[in-house]
Amino acid sequence: MAANTDSPSVEGSVTAVDYLSSQLSLEREARDLMPYDPKVCSYTMGPTRQQVYACLTCLEKTGIPSGVCYSCSIQCHSDHNLVELFTKRYFTCDCGTTRTKWCCSLRDGVDDDIPESLNRYNHNFRGKFCHCARDYNPVEETGNMLQCILGDTCDEDWFHDYCIMGLPKFDPPSPVEDDKQGVNVLDTLGEPGLDAETMNDNGNEDKEQVIDGFPRFEDFDCYVCWQCVSNHRDFFDKIKDNTDIVADTLQRIEAPTISERNDKIREQGSFLNTLKKRKMDYEYSVFLKSQHESHFKALYDQYQDDNTIHSFLDEFPFLMKDDPVYEPPQDDDDGGSSVYDLGTKAINSLPREKAIEGVQVFEDIKTKLKDFLTPFAQDGVL
């Protein structure tokens, strides 16, 4: 009888190759999520469009909402309860100011700088989002969220798609095929500065459902909420039919379900006919097309005597040009290094006595790991 040369199979076992592959994958993911070198606090830059993190720990301590920059979220508040808000315009980091009463390690431990008076704090800085003012929970939430690009009234809040439509909760319709899907950006830091980023709250990367009547995500570039539209109704009533700029408009019709909302639309006649015949009775949101900046600029140049258009675009010039987001320098020094490589590099930078102690610890770990793994290797498990 021939001997069985197959390696024994142990349920739940993992090969060294699999483990190393998994470790490298995690390291790459960490570098992708936090690609910047967190060495400089942005406080000295003044009001800037940048990534902002609300610190709920400092809020609990002071009772005052505050936000910190990318670098301070890592270097000064890493053990705090942070909420990633993505980009905010004209914001100055609060770390090291009397607002947080927390030392900024990147600015020599200062904790009493004067906070920026131009900073605006909506309920996002208390961990709440949307008109419904709910806490964001990626496990329990469903649907997609959009950030308002204008932010004049809402302070660049994020809105659930169902709240945009006037629904109290997501009422799943029959699936609508959508090739360009939303991205769960409250859980994973995407490329900053992408307006109207689509967030899938349940983290599902497969085909999503789009609520009946909601614009397809690939058909628009960014979103203006109904609150900001209502605050500048004269301007948006003028441009809502401009197909070079506006991809779609969506009335906010409050109803318990999507079917009852559709009934209300049918009662007032078709949506398009209503827009053509009379001014809309309902508040509405606006979805802007890609390349809207150049078309807004052309509109500005064309209507020199139109005070409504000029005053609005003078107030919000970022609609006519690129609106860059400040990004700290890329962390390129150790981009391809493993945890082991970084540990070795750290030892080499230590004083001689500390370096010797570090090498001894490495050798102890190496010996114990070898002793532990040897029986598994002999049995063909590892």
What are the tens digits of pLDDT across the range 40-58?
Answer: 999 999 999 999 999 999 9
pLDDT above 70 for 313 = yes
pLDDT in tens, 155-193: 999 999 999 999 987 645 544 444 444 344 344 444 444
pLDDT at 172: 53
What are the structural domain ranges in the chain?
Answer: 42-125, 132-319, 338-367
* 266 band by pLDDT with thresholds 50, 70 and 90: confident
* Full-model pTM: 0.72
* 281 band by pLDDT with thresholds 50, 70 and 90: confident
Compare 351 and 328 and report the one with higher pLDDT.
328
SS3 sequence, 93-144? CCCCECCCCCCEHHHCCECCECCCCCCCCCHHHHCEECCCCEECCCCCCCCE
Collapse the DSSP code of 14 into the 3-class scheme (helix H, G, I; strand E, B; otherwise coil) and give the result. coil
User: Is the distance from CB of 83 to CB of 65 less than 8 angstroms?
Assistant: no
Whole-angstrom Cα distance, residue 372 to residue 98? 52
pLDDT above 60 for 373 = yes
pLDDT at 368: 75
Task: Locate all alpha helices (DSSP H) within the chain, ordered by sequence.
Answer: 16-33, 56-62, 70-75, 161-165, 226-231, 233-239, 258-267, 271-277, 292-302, 307-315, 339-348, 352-378
pLDDT at 374: 75
Q: Mean per-residue pLDDT for 13-32?
A: 60
User: Is the distance from CB of 265 to CB of 167 less than 8 angstroms?
Assistant: no
